[in-house]
Amino acid sequence: MSMNRGGRPTSAQGGCSSDSPTFTGNRALVIEEPLLFEVGDVSKTGVDLDEPEVHEKRLGALERSGIGLPGLTEPEVMRHYVRLSQKNFAIDSGIYPLGSCTMKHNPRLNEKMARLPGFADVHPLQPQSSVQGALELIDTLAAWLLELTGMAGVAMSPKAGAHGEFCGMAAIKFAQRAKGDARSIVLVPESAHGTNPATAALLGYKVRDVPAREDGTVSPDAVKEALGPDVAAIMLTNPNTCGLFERDIVAIADAVHEAGAYFYCDGANFNAIVGKARPGDLGIDCMHINLHKTFSTPHGGGGPGSGPVVFSQALAPYAPVPYVVRNGEEFALVETSGAAEGAEPFGRQTAFHGQMGMFVRALAYMMSHGSDGLRQASEDAVLNANYVRAGLRDVMTQPFGDQVCMHEVLFDDSFLKDTGVTTLDFAKAMIDEGFHPMTMYFPLVVHGALLIEPTESESKASLDQFIAALRDLVRAAKGNDKERLTGAPHHAPWARLDETRAARQPVLRWTGDAPAEAAE
């Protein structure tokens, strides 16, 4: 593919894959957008500034030279960023069926609350007397999390899922160290999130795999066989990453505790069981909660995420500082082990509770739904996933049989056998239909996995359209229209790119010339 001066493709191979190229490179509302460096020049500016007065006595001699930034008018800046935003797929654009990620609608009420003065502009270095409302909100949110999980303690400072995993596993490590029972192995089921074994290894543990049964769940017998005096914990997800509820979780917890180990639960899929089952009642010792998955705070959200960790009575004393404590009408962040009787915190995991916006959004979601509404959200998430399963099960294949799933449904690529079409082809063709692809090739225990999570946010009408589109793609894959999939996407701003090369040979800096690779 060759490139012109503006970085636009001169063949259909790299851009809109139509046989009718346009003079500008644009196609109706699909507008090519060059880099700002390619648009601007030093003669343009969106604002006029007086020449600064240089006070050499105060600042010393200043070297005056160009800094290489493009000059732009205000319309050019606005058009650039608006066009970029139009190339981004979001939950506000359509169904976002990423399995295991829970891309659900973020109610605008939550956003309005997060922008209230006193929340949006709070600073971590303010005196605690001036942020009493924020501290009370953190304390109230913590109380909701404890009630919904049936646990005894909670750490609010972790910033996301993997950060929460580290928090929970560090508490386990310190709890065993306090008992003089240092252990070296963590059990991780084969279908676990990749962050689970990574977190265990980061804390110095060795990882021992636990195989799944033919139905995709973990057997208590397999856990018992893997247990031993050197096992510190098991890290298990429930519902698991195959979209199935681990029905023997209580028996697994009993076996783990009998062996002197702890039970860490990955809470990424809590969205399926809120109000239906409490982790504390199932024998779990600690679990992180992704507020952006379960309680509707946006992924990223313009700042730190939030992954609070709840603890059982046995592990609560080892939760990290600081604690939010209430003394009468006053709230305070306490950073000493005296914050709770018998507390032996493993330390301070992060500098501040910097994810205030996430806390506000999550609590707004909880309070606007109430306990009954949260339970209904879980029920509707499971209903929607099973509606998708029922609508596709005759044309797509399930790796563990036609069993009822939880909040996400898992298919494999068996239905594509001998078609010459891959899971990646299928996913790319979904882009042409206006859908974000589902999660692909995960979990790794399933060949060519397609993991679909519609969430409770989707209506029956949107699910019917989604199902119909996938059924049509299956028909095309098995018929005489394979190019529709193998060459997809055909209608996106850019055709299929070499993602492997992009990861291995990224071009991260503007140098003034098109990179040599682009001319090949």
Give the CATH number for residue 419.
3.90.1150.10
User: H or E stretch including 195?
Assistant: helix 195-202
pLDDT, position 408: 97
The lowest-confidence range among 43-47, 120-124, 258-262, 369-373 is 43-47
pLDDT, position 300: 67
In 421-520, where does DSSP find H-type helix? 423-432, 460-478, 483-486, 499-504
Q: Check residue 19 and report its DSSP letter.
A: S
Cβ atoms of 137 and 113 closer than 8 Å? no
Please give the Cα distance from 272 to 190 (Å, whole number): 21
22 with 157, same domain: the answer is no
Cβ atoms of 3 and 12 closer than 8 Å? no
Q: Check residue 24 and report its DSSP letter.
A: S
Structurally, how many domains does the chain consist of? 3
Q: Rounded mean pLDDT of 261-276? A: 96
Structure tokens at 388: 């998708």
Above 90 in pLDDT, residue 71?
A: no
Amino acid at the residue 242: C
**285 located within any domain:** yes
**519 located within any domain:** no
Q: Rounded mean pLDDT of 11-23? A: 56
- Other CB atoms within a 10 A radius of the CB of residue 365 amount to 23
197 with 222, same domain: the answer is yes
The lowest-confidence range among 37-41, 429-433, 514-518 is 514-518
| C-alpha distance from residue 476 to each of 417, 418, 481, 482 (Å) | 14, 13, 5, 6
Q: Rounded mean pLDDT of 392-398? A: 98
Please give the Cα distance from 188 to 213 (Å, whole number): 14
Please give the Cα distance from 287 to 272 (Å, whole number): 15
Please give the Cα distance from 322 to 496 (Å, whole number): 48
Work out the percent of the chain whose per-residue pLDDT is above 90: 68
**514 located within any domain:** no
325 with 375, same domain: the answer is no
The string of pLDDT tens digits covering residues 278-321 is 999 999 999 999 999 999 988 866 678 899 999 999 999 999 99
Instruction: State pTM to two decimals.
Output: 0.89
Cβ atoms of 160 and 307 closer than 8 Å? yes
Does 71 or 128 have the greater pLDDT score? 128
Please give the Cα distance from 269 to 287 (Å, whole number): 11
480 with 356, same domain: the answer is no
Above 70 in pLDDT, residue 128?
A: yes
Strand partners, 188: 209
**495 located within any domain:** yes
Q: Rounded mean pLDDT of 379-394? A: 98
Chain-centroid distance, C-alpha 243: 16
Give the sign of the dihedral formed by CA 64, CA 68, CA 73, CA 75. Answer: negative
Q: Rounded mean pLDDT of 18-34? A: 77
**85 located within any domain:** no
349 with 408, same domain: the answer is no
Does 377 or 339 have the greater pLDDT score? 377
Q: Rounded mean pLDDT of 445-452? A: 96
Does 26 or 216 have the greater pLDDT score? 216
361 with 412, same domain: the answer is no
**191 located within any domain:** yes
pLDDT, position 518: 43
pLDDT band at 452 (very low <50, low <70, confident <90, very high): very high
285 with 212, same domain: the answer is yes
126 with 183, same domain: the answer is yes
**88 located within any domain:** no
Instruction: Give the three-class secondary structure for 403.
Output: coil
pLDDT, position 56: 59
Q: How many CA atoms lie within 13 A of 9 on its CB side?
A: 19
Q: Rounded mean pLDDT of 114-136? A: 93
List of residues 6+ apart from 503 with CB closer than 8 A: none
**45 located within any domain:** no
Structure tokens at 383: 């209903």
Place of tokens 């003394």: 327
Q: What is the DSSP string of 123-162?
A: -TTS-GGG-HHHHHHHHHHHHHHHHHHT-SEEE----SHH
> Which domain range does residue 25 map to?
1-33
Structure tokens at 126: 């303010």
pLDDT, position 298: 86
pLDDT band at 400 (very low <50, low <70, confident <90, very high): very high
388 with 473, same domain: the answer is yes
Cβ atoms of 263 and 227 closer than 8 Å? no
Give the sign of the dihedral formed by CA 109, CA 115, CA 118, CA 124. Answer: positive
Above 70 in pLDDT, residue 61?
A: no
Computed over every residue of the chain, the mean pLDDT equals: 88
Work out the percent of the chain whose per-residue pLDDT is above 70: 89
What is the widest separation between alpha-carbon atoms in the chain?
81
292 with 324, same domain: the answer is yes
pLDDT, position 238: 94
Residue 296 sits in a domain whose CATH number is: 3.40.640.10
312 with 229, same domain: the answer is yes
Q: At 424, give phi and psi (nearest 5°).
A: -60, -45
Strand partners, 153: 311
pLDDT, position 16: 47
Above 80 in pLDDT, residue 42?
A: no
In 273-395, where does DSSP find H-type helix? 291-294, 356-392
319 with 407, same domain: the answer is no
Above 80 in pLDDT, residue 21?
A: no
Burial class (CB in 10 A: 0-12, 13-18, 19+), 8: middle
Above 60 in pLDDT, residue 18?
A: no
Which residue, among 150, 187, 461, has the nearest Cα to 275 in the 3D structure? 150
In 403-459, where does DSSP find H-type helix? 423-432
Q: What is the DSSP string of 42-72?
A: TT--SS--PPPP--HHHH-PPP-----PPP-
Burial class (CB in 10 A: 0-12, 13-18, 19+), 235: buried
Does 511 or 99 have the greater pLDDT score? 99
- Other CB atoms within a 10 A radius of the CB of residue 186 amount to 26
pLDDT band at 63 (very low <50, low <70, confident <90, very high): low
pLDDT band at 23 (very low <50, low <70, confident <90, very high): confident
For strands 185-189 and 206-210, give the pairing: parallel
Above 90 in pLDDT, residue 46?
A: no
